[in-house]
Amino acid sequence: MDATLLSSPLAPLAALMVLGAVGAAAIALTLELRAGAKVRARLASEGGVTSSGGPATSGAAALLSGLTGGLTRIGDRIAIQDPSQVSVTRQQLMLAGYSDREAVTVYLGARFAALIAAAVLSLTVMPWLLRGAPPMVMAGSCATLTIGALLGPEQFLRMRRNKRQQEYRDGFPDMLDLLVASVEAGLSLDAGVTRVTEELERRHPNLAEQMVFLTLELRAGRARKDAWSSFADRLGIDEARAMSTMLRQAEEMGTSLGETLAIFSDDMRTKRMLRAEEKAMALPAKLIVPLILFIFPCLLGVLILPAAFRVSQSIHGH
């Protein structure tokens, strides 16, 4: 490490912060492992096996369980301090595919752990990797690492949510076509949902998973309009919300579900075709940038270089 960094008046403070962070992490990990060991010992004394029915948990599994438990406890404390954001975070995690009960606490704990890890790396690893570099470069690297730890989990959730919603949009017209065919064949709407779920498992597994939840809610006796509204909230796309509203209005007005679904399916197919045409029309505008940056210079070189070579040969020949 650079001598100027060691002689800086902030060096003792940085070392104290690093030691405090490492000590706190070690204490938390030790407590979690000890608590897990007590639980496993009690279960072993009662039944001789773990909760999964197999042998005792391995060391790697115990370490992973301890880390998950630590993140969960940290997330619980953060959630208690700011309960207004828990519902919003839960909705975002549900849209990203994390519907577990402890997903919010694990996510909040992981964000806090990422910030601690970024601080420790900024104070220990970054000065060693960037020794001899200008102070501005080191400060910028540490700031980038901290911003990445702060915004990285949220960006990951956003990317995962957008990917799943795109799959929902691609599979929604297919789901409607199959549902219309099932209803017109004589099945009820609930039975048609079950049949369509089986058909969509290979093509659109995430959409089929959400339809399984819908089927379970309908079988549990939940009202149809409430079940479809919850289904639309889990998908988070406008097509599902429009279908939920359409089914509620059709049920209230007593109209035929088959005709209503057929009209709505035609509308969805038209919208999918319009989206495809929109992407096709936007393609020439998107190709202008690579055309100017990569293809046009190559063509210009191919056209100009032979003429330039001949001119240079004629000049040197004379």
Q: What is the DSSP letter of 134?
A: -
Alpha-carbon span 12 to 18, nearest angstrom: 10
Backbone angles phi, psi at 98, to 5 degrees: -105, 95
- Taking CA atoms, 273 is separated from 166, 173, 279, in Å, by 15, 11, 10
Is the whole model's pTM more than 0.75, yes or no? no
- Which range, 15-24, 87-96, 208-217, is most confident? 208-217
**8 Å CB contact between 199 and 171:** no
Higher-pLDDT residue of 111, 299: 299
**8 Å CB contact between 208 and 201:** yes
**8 Å CB contact between 162 and 236:** no
Q: Average pLDDT of the chain?
A: 76
Higher-pLDDT residue of 231, 55: 231
- Taking CA atoms, 201 is separated from 171, 175, 205, 210, 243, in Å, by 11, 11, 5, 11, 21
- Which range, 7-16, 113-122, 292-301, is most confident? 292-301
Higher-pLDDT residue of 223, 18: 223
Reported as a pLDDT band with limits 50, 70 and 90, residue 53 is: very low
Arithmetic mean of pLDDT, 160-171: 88
Arithmetic mean of pLDDT, 299-312: 86
Q: Does residue 132 come out as left (phi exceeding 0), alpha (psi in the -120 to 50 range) or beta?
A: left
Alpha-carbon span 291 to 303, nearest angstrom: 16
> Is pLDDT above 60 for 32?
no
Reported as a pLDDT band with limits 50, 70 and 90, residue 261 is: confident
What is the biggest distance separating any 2 CA atoms in the chain, rounded to whole angstroms? 103
> Is pLDDT above 60 for 41?
no
Looking at residue 301, what is its pLDDT?
A: 86
Looking at residue 64, what is its pLDDT?
A: 56
For CA atoms 44, 48, 49, 55, give the dihedral sign. positive
- In the chain, what is the straight-line distance between the N-terminal and C-terminal CA atoms, in Å? 63
